[in-house]
């Protein structure tokens, strides 16, 4: 789709972070849903959307979240 820009970060074969931005003038939900469905090809993924829905034009998709290195949070102060 020409109205969607994807910015992508890949690490190894299993981890991918993609930021989808819709630049058209129609309802972004419909177009982003379709683009993300095509992009993920049925694989499990995590999706992050603006919590207040102030920005429905941008979504962050993470594939391989469970394969990422995990560290415990340690408060420093």
Model confidence pLDDT, tens digit, residues 15-37: 999 999 999 999 999 999 999 99
Q: Does any domain span residue 72?
A: no
Q: Does any domain span residue 20?
A: yes
Helix (H, G, I), strand (E, B), or coil: what is residue 21? strand
Q: What are phi and psi of 6, to 5 degrees?
A: -120, 125
Greater confidence, 1 or 23? 23
Measured between alpha carbons, how far is 60 from 39 in angstroms, rounded to an integer? 12
Q: Does any domain span residue 73?
A: no
Q: Does any domain span residue 74?
A: no
Measured between alpha carbons, how far is 24 from 14 in angstroms, rounded to an integer? 31
pLDDT higher than 90, residue 68: no
Helix (H, G, I), strand (E, B), or coil: what is residue 16? strand
Q: Does any domain span residue 56?
A: yes
Rounded to 5°, angle at Cα 9 from 67 and 36: 85
Q: Does any domain span residue 77?
A: no
Number of domains making up the chain: 1
Q: Does any domain span residue 32?
A: yes
Task: Provide the residue range defining the domain that includes 35.
Answer: 4-66
């Amino acid at each position: 789709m020409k109205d969607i820009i994807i910015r992508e970060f890949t690490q190894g074969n299993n981890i991918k972070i993609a930021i989808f931005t819709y630049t058209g003038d129609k309802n972004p939900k419909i177009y982003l849903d379709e683009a993300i469905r095509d992009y993920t090809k049925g694989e499990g993924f995590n999706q992050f959307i603006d919590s207040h829905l102030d920005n429905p034009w941008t979504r962050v998709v993470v594939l391989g979240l469970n394969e990422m290195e995990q560290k415990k949070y340690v408060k420093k102060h």
